[in-house]
Amino acid sequence: MNETSSARISQKEWEKAKTMFDYFVGDEKTSRDEIIDRFSQNSQQYEKIMEAVNYTSPMHTAQATAELFPSNREDVFILDVAAGTGLCGEKLYYHGFRKMDALEPSTRMLDEARKKGLYSRYFIEALGENALDIANETYDAVTISAMSSMVLIKLPLEAFGELIRIVKPDGYIINTAFYDLFSDNGDDKAVSLRENMKTLEYQGKWKQMELKRFPEAAVGSDVGVSVHKVLA
C-alpha cells in the first residue's frame, strides 16, 4: 500500500479493494464476457474501489492527451474506449475537452457514466474483431484507460485497425495500462499485444510517439501511457 492510499484507508480496506481490483482484471482463463459481467455487477461500487487502490491511470491518460492538444481543446473530438463510469472522461473534461463519445461493453457501467453528462454518444460495444458503427476519420483522438489487462492483451489486430480507421490522419491513440504490457522485456502474456502494435507500425498505419512510465501508479505497479500517431 502506498503513502497516498494509506493516509485515507486501513490496510484491511486496501487489501479488500485490491482483491476486487484483481477480480475485475481476471486471469488468462477468464473470458471477456465474464470480465464484462464482473464490472457490470459491481458498477455502483467501482469508483470507490478504484479510489481505494489509488488507481491514477485516468489522470495520466488525460494529462498525456492534454499535452498532445495544447490549445482549442473544446474542439478536439475524443472517443473514450472502455469508458466505464467515466473516470477518464472526468479528467479529460478537467483539461478542457468537451466533445467526447464513450464506448463501453457494460450497460451498467455506462449507466453510471450517463449520470455525469460528459459524453454525447454512448456505444454499448466491446472492442474486438467486429467493425464499429462509426464513420472513418471521425475522431481526433482515442483514449483507452482502465481496460482489463486480460482483455487488452487478447485484442486481435483488427481491433487496433478499427481504432486507426476512425481516427483522423495525424490524430492519436492514447493507451494506458500496466507498463509491463508495453515493455519489450515485459509480461510474457502480452507478447501478442506488442506484436500487433509493431505490425501496424510496420504496415505504416501508425507510429508510436512515446511510452511514458509512471512508477506505482496502479495498485503498486508501474503504469505506461503509450501514444501512437495515426498516419495518413
Q: Where are the domains of the chain?
A: 3-52, 57-230
Cα 101 from Cα 77, distance rounded (Å): 8
Average pLDDT for the chain: 92
Q: In the CATH scheme, what is the homologous superfamily, with its name and number, of domain 57-230?
A: Vaccinia Virus protein VP39 (3.40.50.150)
Residue 82 has pLDDT above 90, yes or no: yes
* Residue 5: strand, helix, or coil: helix
Q: Which residues partner with 214 through β-bridges? A: 223
Q: List pLDDT tens digits, range 135-161.
A: 999 999 999 997 989 999 999 999 999
CA pair distance 123, 80, nearest whole angstrom: 10
Res 188 pLDDT > 80: yes
pLDDT computed for residue 5 by the predictor: 44
Cβ atoms of 178 and 149 closer than 8 Å: yes
**Using CA atoms, how far apart are residues 155 and 134, in angstroms rounded to an integer?**
19
Alpha helices in 130-190 (DSSP H): 149-152, 157-166, 179-182
